[in-house]
């Protein structure tokens, strides 16, 4: 199977995703991606949103969501629209998408769609003047380990998988037909400033930086908690080894007494008394580390852009003096 090199979004698909996610704020939005798998490229030609979840849906059947998807794809098929599922899209808050639920969804899709992707759109980051749209998928080797439930430190080390090998970014390209490009060129006004152009000149990044730093601190606390679990595991293993050594020494002394008395010796191995302690799962630690990396990248990009603006304004001020 050829590796996936790019995800090509039709322009109307990108607009549908942006509109759905922006209208759903502050709630998260999600929907289905439809298209074709063409060699090393995944072409997304259409999409449709999933209904928003609410308290009123508690009494509905668990299969309601699946029924809705099947009904939508049947309707699209009847009007001769691509109805092949290639993944799903979802919105994110400040780049937060690395969750265990996302991995579980990926694994479920992977059973039937080997090249499934998730398109993540961040409305808050997009408000800063850049389109925060990315396509991600799970690394195949990680999916196999997840299915086998081999996520301990030993298993991941033997598979040579780090936290960077969980999610794989796939380049995203937005395509539009020549007629659409001609229409945009016809409707595009003469050189005029827009609200987006003025937003790019905003020198303030304090609210954005504060949210990122706060989220980063929370993730660091979560990572410390995960590390404490690993530390506690090693302490319990060492304590069990000491207890087993003391028990074995006591049993040997008892056997020496029984041997001198001519009695039958007792077994020196009792597996029922000292059961192996299960090694902790490192998936949560990997996800938190990946999220920390995302926050650090966002802080780095925001600070770099702010410094560039400050130097630009300083140069303009010196030129006007």
Lowest mean pLDDT among 78-92, 100-114, 306-320: 306-320
Between the alpha carbon of residue 118 and those of residues 43, 92, 109, 237, 261, the distances in Å are: 13, 12, 10, 40, 73
Task: Compute the average pLDDT of residues 267-291.
Answer: 80
Angle at 102 between CA 284 and CA 224, to 5 degrees: 20
Give the confidence band of 56 by pLDDT, cuts at 50, 70, 90. very low
Give the confidence band of 248 by pLDDT, cuts at 50, 70, 90. confident
pLDDT digits (tens, 9 = 90+) for 110-169: 888 888 899 999 888 887 777 888 999 988 888 888 888 888 888 888 888 888 888 888
What phi, psi does 253 have (nearest 5°)?
-65, -40
Rounded Cα–Cα distance for residues 166 and 98 (Å): 10
What was the pLDDT predicted at 201? 66
- Tell me the chain's radius of gyration from C-alpha atoms: 28
Q: Quick check: 50 and 30 in contact, CB under 8 A?
A: yes
- Whether the pLDDT of residue 6 is over 70: the answer is yes
* 211-234 CB burial, b ≥16 within 10 A, e <16: ebeebbeebeebbeebeeeeeebe
- Whether the pLDDT of residue 89 is over 90: the answer is yes
Q: What is the mean pLDDT of the chain?
A: 82
What was the pLDDT predicted at 193? 62
- Whether the pLDDT of residue 268 is over 90: the answer is no
Helix (H), strand (E) at residue 199: helix 195-200
More confident site: 199 or 9:
9
What was the pLDDT predicted at 119? 92
What was the pLDDT predicted at 59? 46
Highest mean pLDDT among 95-99, 222-226, 269-273: 222-226
What was the pLDDT predicted at 65? 66
Rounded Cα–Cα distance for residues 258 and 205 (Å): 79
Q: Quick check: 253 and 247 in contact, CB under 8 A?
A: no
Lowest mean pLDDT among 8-17, 18-27, 42-51, 195-204: 195-204
Q: Quick check: 213 and 299 in contact, CB under 8 A?
A: yes
Give the confidence band of 210 by pLDDT, cuts at 50, 70, 90. confident
Burial of 244 (0-12, 13-18, 19+ CB in 10 A): middle
More confident site: 205 or 304:
304
């Amino acid at each position: 199977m050829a590796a996936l090199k790019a995800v090509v979004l039709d322009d109307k698909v990108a607009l549908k995703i942006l509109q759905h996610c922006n209208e759903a704020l502050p709630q998260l939005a999600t929907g289905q991606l439809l298209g074709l798998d063409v060699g090393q490229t995944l072409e997304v030609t259409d999409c449709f949103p999933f209904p928003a979840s609410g308290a009123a849906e508690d009494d509905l059947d668990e299969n309601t969501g699946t029924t809705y998807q099947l009904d939508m794809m049947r309707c699209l098929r009847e009007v001769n629209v691509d109805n092949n599922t290639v993944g799903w899209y979802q919105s994110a808050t400040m780049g937060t998408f690395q969750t265990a639920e996302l991995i579980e969804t990926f694994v479920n899709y992977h059973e039937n769609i080997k090249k499934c992707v998730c398109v993540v759109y961040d409305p808050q980051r997009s408000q800063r003047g850049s389109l925060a749209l990315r396509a991600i998928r799970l690394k195949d080797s990680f999916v196999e380990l997840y299915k086998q439930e081999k996520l301990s430190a030993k298993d991941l080390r033997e598979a040579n998988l780090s936290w960077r090998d969980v999610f794989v970014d796939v380049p995203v390209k937005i395509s539009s037909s020549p007629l659409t490009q001609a229409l945009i060129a016809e409707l595009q006004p003469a050189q005029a400033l827009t609200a987006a152009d003025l937003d790019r000149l905003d020198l303030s990044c304090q609210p954005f930086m504060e949210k990122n730093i706060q989220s980063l601190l929370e993730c660091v606390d979560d990572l410390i908690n995960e590390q404490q679990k690993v530390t506690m595991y090693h302490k319990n293993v060492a304590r069990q080894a000491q207890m087993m050594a003391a028990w074995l020494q006591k049993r040997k002394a008892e056997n020496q007494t029984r041997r001198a008395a001519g009695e039958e010796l007792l077994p020196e191995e009792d597996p029922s008394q000292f059961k192996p302690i299960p090694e902790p799962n490192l998936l949560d630690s990997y996800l938190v580390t990946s999220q920390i990396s995302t926050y650090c990248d966002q802080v780095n990009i925001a600070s770099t852009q702010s410094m560039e603006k400050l130097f630009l304004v300083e140069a303009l001020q010196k030129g006007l003096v």
